[in-house]
Amino acid sequence: MRLLFQDEHLVALDKPAGRIVIPGRGAPEWTILEEAQAALGRLWVVHRLDRGTSGVLALARTAAAHRALNLAFEGRSVEKRYLALVRGAPPDEQRIELSIAPARKGRMKAVPPGDPRGKPSATAVRVLERFPAAGLALVECAPETGRTHQLRVHLAFTGTPLALDPDYGEEAPLAGPDGEVLLARTPLHASALTFPHPASGVTLRVEAPLPDDLARVLAWARHPA
């Protein structure tokens, strides 16, 4: 893990793909929280990223900072930015607004407005780069709410699912023309997190660089032949 920011109130890490933040329901494994606490001492989880998602993860270092950051997330004072590699040709800009409800096996699904099972959710999406020869596009997602699997459900519902997503799209890894596996995880990266500092209230923006696996896929997508 790369340390992106730290002070006496919080730390921000660059979470690698393939790791879980807190213990899950499966076999025991070393979590991001456990690894971070081994190096930095007691920490509180403020938000989570899916196993396959990389990027900015904030953790509180005190109970007071934890409360303040929780209030910021609940009050929608936190601005999140994600990069996603999707299939198809999404519009240049769109705002996706859906109600999302739990489905089977830990998945989520879109439900009609007014369905009591659903919670409102909204995401602004804009295209950063198109790769027509590969049938892909790089988009930036700005979620206005924080529902489970929100970005993955929204992108799939609009016909441009993540380029690889076993739950909501294609299961097979992305491979080059010679069969070499280029990417074997959901191409979703938490690129930036902007929020009020839990002690000073000053706006803090933390960014995570594009990881090597996504950079490699984008380089291939620009010249897929």
pLDDT of residue 53: 97
pLDDT of residue 24: 76
Name the one residue in this structure whose structure tokens are 């896929």.
217
How many angstroms separate the CA atoms of 210 and 83, rounded? 9
Three-class secondary structure of residue 189 per DSSP: strand
The model carries a pTM of 0.95
50 is catalytic: yes
Cα–chain center distance at 126: 16
Indicate the average pLDDT of the chain: 95
Dihedral of alpha carbons 139, 143, 146, 147, sign: negative
Residue 25's pLDDT band, with cuts at 50, 70 and 90, is confident
H helices, E strands: number in the chain: 4, 13
Identify which of 186, 198, 157 has the alpha carbon closest to the alpha carbon of residue 51.
Answer: 186
How big is the chain by its Cα radius of gyration, in Å? 18
Residue range 42-97, pLDDT digits in tens: 999 999 999 999 999 999 999 999 999 999 999 999 999 999 999 999 999 999 99
Out of 14, 50, 167, 213, the active site residue is 50
Domain ranges of the chain: 2-222
Identify which of 57, 92, 103, 61 has the alpha carbon closest to the alpha carbon of residue 206.
Answer: 57
pLDDT at 219 over 80: yes
Q: Which CATH superfamily is domain 2-222 in?
A: Pseudouridine synthase (3.30.2350.10)
Residue 200's pLDDT band, with cuts at 50, 70 and 90, is very high
Alpha helices in 81-149 (DSSP H): none
Residue 109's pLDDT band, with cuts at 50, 70 and 90, is very high
pLDDT of residue 190: 98
Residue range 118-142, pLDDT digits in tens: 999 999 999 999 999 999 999 999 9
The upper half-sphere exposure of residue 124, i.e. CA atoms within 13 Å in the direction of its Cβ, equals: 5
Three-class secondary structure of residue 183 per DSSP: strand
pLDDT at 185 over 80: yes
Mean pLDDT of 168-179: 89
pLDDT at 27 over 80: no
Q: 111 near 101, Cβ under 8 Å?
A: yes
Q: 11 near 5, Cβ under 8 Å?
A: yes
pLDDT at 196 over 90: yes
